[in-house]
Amino acid sequence: MRRGILIGIGAISLVAAFTLANYSEARTLEVPYQVKDSDHTFEVREYGPRIVAEVEVTGSREKALSEAFSTLAGYLFGKNSPRSHVELHKSIVSSTSKEKLSMTVPVTTQSVGPSTIRMRFFMPPQYSIDQLPVPDDKRVKVFELPSQKFAVLRFSGSARKDNFDRHWETLKKKLDQKGLTPTGDPFEAYYNPPFTPVFLKRNEVCVPL
């Protein structure tokens, strides 16, 4: 009897997580791109100019990822100042002037040193660089990326580094088969909130071409 109840609770939890994951994805805007080549889980994509908020954090992988995410989320959800106030050198900004920005996927991470993580949030496309608020945390940099082309391999599962490394090796083999040459270092792209079941997660390893 008790086992049946536990199984029932587990099933309900799974359905709830599945529903929340799909609801979250439906409400979250994805950075647009054009597919130039596609082969199962592999794609060559072309992205137009887009604006990012970026931070670099040093520490263990788990600690750096957590701190980087909370720092960028803080900027997104109100730890910022209107650009007009900053440009006019006004020292007092009321809490009501703080701006909340919509979440856009993916969130990207990249190792830029033995213990340093670079994380980027993409800004909502309706904003120009001049319209975005200024981060209160000076570690956060907001700037525009140029148009770029990437090779991308999609995979599910956890965000562990060994999972990423394994799929990076697969992507390198795919690039060799297609005669494509990377022009930079690989990075990770993540699309789902933490409560998404692992087997439903959309992760990607990406490298510029």
Domain boundaries of the chain, sorted by first residue = 29-208
Sign of the alpha-carbon dihedral angle for 16, 20, 26, 32: negative
Non-local CB neighbours of 155 within 8 Å, separated by 6+ positions: 41, 163, 167, 203, 204, 205
Burial class for 32, CB neighbours closer than 10 Å (0-12, 13-18, 19+): exposed
Residue 180 near residue 1 (C-beta atoms within 8 A)? no
Cα 165 → chain centroid: 17
Which pLDDT tens digit goes with each residue over 168-198?
999 999 999 999 999 999 999 999 887 788 8
29-208 placed in CATH 3.20.80.10:
yes
Q: Helix, strand, or coil here: 49?
A: coil
In the chain, where does DSSP find H-type helix? 2-27, 61-76, 83-87, 161-178
pTM: predicted TM-score of the whole model, two decimal places:
0.82
How many CB atoms are closer than 10 A to CB 153? 24
Which pLDDT tens digit goes with each residue over 129-143?
999 999 999 999 999
End-to-end alpha-carbon separation of the chain, Å? 57
Q: What is the mean pLDDT of residues 153-180?
A: 93
